[in-house]
């Protein structure tokens, strides 16, 4: 098949995958949808996806994302994290991005650290490049077969030798793909209003309704109105607005809405209370440890 949309799903986020699928049916009617997941989760998702692909059970977490080429049944694939909602036709984007075997929106950096601790200067010195592609937190990627095999083969090599490339830090597929795209001289795609997060909007300007493919805002990075193709609700961001959109999509399509807002409350607690509390405790223990060492 020529073009389709792919996502991944787990027992913890399969309802988010349903939300992605339902928003895609509105904004991209006729585009086939695929999900890679366990057999158990697949039974829950069959009504909403055209293709349910059995995941590789030996992989864990982010490692699945360097096997997307094996999961996708499509020649041209737009991958999205399950916590994404779609609002516009993707085909004009695929037409402009399709000249490259793999890409995602991003930029370049020469120093600093990624969210997972990747030392960019260290990596650049190792791979002999002067600037590093950075697609951190993109939540999406576009790739074409068979040209993308080189990309994913290298990504799997970097994954197997993660400490050698990235040092002793937690594994993250986005760090791996930053390295791979840089080595292969693959340019990140320009933003052009395609990508958004809830925090992208100037407060009070966001108008969103995934049941009719509507998303408008004044972008805080430009002060200009934008109508993005997608919104990524990464890291439990904006749990209640996200739950509201899922509730509307589910209700419209006869999907049970039970527990959506309680899940949002749990996400709110995790992001706004638990994580900040852990961060403060970590800083406190570090400070105490330094003082005790003196």
Tens digits of residue pLDDT in 164-196 = 999 999 999 999 999 999 999 999 998 878 999
Tens digits of residue pLDDT in 243-272 = 999 999 999 999 999 999 999 998 898 888
40 within domain boundaries: yes
Cα-based distances in Å from 231 to 68, 200, 201 = 21, 9, 11
231 within domain boundaries: no
Alpha helix (H) residue ranges in 188-259: 239-252
22 within domain boundaries: yes
172 within domain boundaries: yes
Q: Which domain holds residue 84?
A: 3-183
pLDDT of 272 reads 86
pLDDT of 157 reads 98
Residue 246, Cβ neighbours under 10 Å: how many? 26
Question: What domain count does the chain have?
Answer: 1
- Strand partners for 283: none
CATH code where residue 172 lies: 3.90.550.10
39 within domain boundaries: yes
**11-38 core/surface letters (b: 16 or more CB in 10 A; e: else):** eebbbbbbbbbbbbbbbbeebbbbbbbe
Q: How far apart are CA 78 and CA 265, in angstroms?
A: 30
273 within domain boundaries: no
> How do beta strands 76-80 and 140-144 pair?
antiparallel
Q: What global pTM score does this model have?
A: 0.92
193 within domain boundaries: no
């Amino acid at each position: 098949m020529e073009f389709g949309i792919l996502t991944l799903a787990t027992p913890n986020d399969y309802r988010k995958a349903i939300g992605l699928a339902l928003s895609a049916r509105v904004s991209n009617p006729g585009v086939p949808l695929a999900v890679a997941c366990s057999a158990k989760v697949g039974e829950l998702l069959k009504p909403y996806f055209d293709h349910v692909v059995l995941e590789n059970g030996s992989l864990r977490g982010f490692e699945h994302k360097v096997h997307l080429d094996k999961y996708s049944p499509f020649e041209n694939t737009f991958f999205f994290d399950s916590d994404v909602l779609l609002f516009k036709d993707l085909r004009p984007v695929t037409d402009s991005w399709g000249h490259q075997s793999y890409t995602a929106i991003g930029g370049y950096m020469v120093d600093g650290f990624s969210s997972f601790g990747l030392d960019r200067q260290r990596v650049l010195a190792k791979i002999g490049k002067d600037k590093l592609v950075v697609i951190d937190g993109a939540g999406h990627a576009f790739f074409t077969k068979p040209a993308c095999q080189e990309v994913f083969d290298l990504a799997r090599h970097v994954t197997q030798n993660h400490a050698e490339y990235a040092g002793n830090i937690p594994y993250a597929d986005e760090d791996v793909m930053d390295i791979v795209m840089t080595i292969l001289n693959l340019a990140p795609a320009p933003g052009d209003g395609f990508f958004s997060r809830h925090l992208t909007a100037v407060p009070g300007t966001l108008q969103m309704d995934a049941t009719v493919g509507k998303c408008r805002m004044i972008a805080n990075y430009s002060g200009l109105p934008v109508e993005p193709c997608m919104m990524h609700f990464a890291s439990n961001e904006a749990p209640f607005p996200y739950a509201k959109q899922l509730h509307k999509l589910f209700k419209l399509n006869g999907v049970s809405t039970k527990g959506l807002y309680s899940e949002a409350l749990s996400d709110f607690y995790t992001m706004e209370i638990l994580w900040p509390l852990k961060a403060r405790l970590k800083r406190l223990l570090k400070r105490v440890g330094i003082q005790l060492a003196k």
